[in-house]
Amino acid sequence: MKYNILVINPGSTSDDIGYFSDGKPVFTKTIRYSLSDLKEFEGQPSTMQYDFRKGGVLAALKENGVALKDLSAVVGRGGLIHPLVGGTYTVNDKMVYDLEHGVSGDHSCNLGGLIAREIADMTGIPAFIADPVIVDELAPVARYSGMPEDPRVSIFHALNHKRVARLAAKKLGKKYEECRFIVAHCGGGISVASHLNGMIIDVNNALNGEGPFTPQRSGSVPVWQLVKMCFSGKYTKDDMKLKITGRGGLVAYTGTSDMVALEKYILDGTPDPDITVSREKARECVEAMAYQISKEIGAHSAVLQGKVDAIVITGGLAHDKVITDYLQNRMGWLAPLMFFPGGDEVRALADAAIHALKHPSEIKEYM
């Protein structure tokens, strides 16, 4: 039987859309958004972008001559729902409610399941999510934060982590369940994790202020200075939220989160109207981000007791020569580095949906 799958993968600054027929890509499209594109939504919940982003998905289908009646299923990126084990889940009413209300946080990935469900309902086909960002396999000791009332939580790029880890294991001639990897997904958000025998036993909260700073996020910051900022009277709660996620990291330092523009500016001086610093300062800022990624990787070598089969670098920043050269030079001593630029979350989602349709008994129900 031939299955036609629509994939919707919303990210911080882009939407990846794909249409697969019989397991083969018919078309894929990335819709990128600049800061000006998203400015009207600044400070608002991501659900306010629902109609804007859904319009892009429907337009992509129309441009490529795909009729809704031809779809077998729609699969979206998993959002910030309640923690659960990995797998493929039906988007049910309980999940819709939790995505709409951001029960575990606010991010554009919450739109994946919501848009998938609406499009699927138009023709009575199933809507799925797979390996959502709140997959939780943390070791008990990894949950401790130093404040009992504020435990560490697992929010990260689980779908791409799992996929590239399996690809890396295959390249090594091993099963994923036999490997010890440090995987770093580097994009609009950055998550670095310890993969031990098929389980992700430790990872930074890539959304709400842990780990390296990113093109748009502050990452971990000095806590007492943050407390003083919060109570200074200069900033509202929404202001601080934007400093942590949206207007922190590279955009705060350089004026832009556009890594393509920054790389061109650093390497050959190509100007960009959004960049507010010199070439030398831009390079220092990007290398500072890579430095923090390196520190996080080093911390995970301790989690794996120094026994690391490979360091796996993925996400959009794995295309960036300044960053990849820096990581190779600084971390090559620890373990071999394997690069999977961009990952392939669209393919991973399509494969999950096809597997679910072929093996309905394995579809999980969100409770």
What domains appear along the chain, each with residue ranges and CATH number?
4-134+345-365 (3.30.420.40), 140-335 (3.30.420.40)
In angstroms, the CA 202 to CA 136 distance is 9
Tokens of 306: 């120094």
Enter the pTM of the model.
Answer: 0.82
How far lies 117's CA from each of 6, 56, 75, 129, 274, in Å? 11, 16, 8, 10, 37
Tokens of 254: 């350089």
Q: Are 153 and 191 in contact (CB under 8 A)?
A: no
Please report how many Cα atoms fall inside a 13 Å half-sphere around the Cα of residue 172, on the Cβ side: 23
Strands 4-10, 14-21: pairing is: antiparallel
Tokens of 221: 């910051």
Q: Are 216 and 188 in contact (CB under 8 A)?
A: yes
pLDDT computed for residue 35 by the predictor = 76
**CA 172 from centroid of its chain's CA atoms:** 25
pLDDT computed for residue 42 by the predictor = 85
pLDDT computed for residue 39 by the predictor = 83
Q: Are 249 and 289 in contact (CB under 8 A)?
A: yes
In angstroms, the CA 111 to CA 53 distance is 8
pLDDT tens digit at each of 367 positions of the chain: 899 999 999 987 889 999 999 999 999 999 888 778 888 888 899 999 999 999 999 999 999 999 999 999 999 999 999 999 888 999 999 999 999 999 988 989 999 999 999 999 999 999 999 999 899 999 999 999 999 999 999 999 999 998 899 899 999 999 999 999 999 999 999 999 999 999 999 999 998 899 999 999 999 999 999 999 999 999 999 999 999 999 999 999 999 999 999 999 999 999 999 999 999 999 999 999 999 999 999 999 999 999 999 999 999 999 999 999 999 999 999 999 999 998 788 999 999 999 899 999 999 999 9
In angstroms, the CA 6 to CA 28 distance is 10
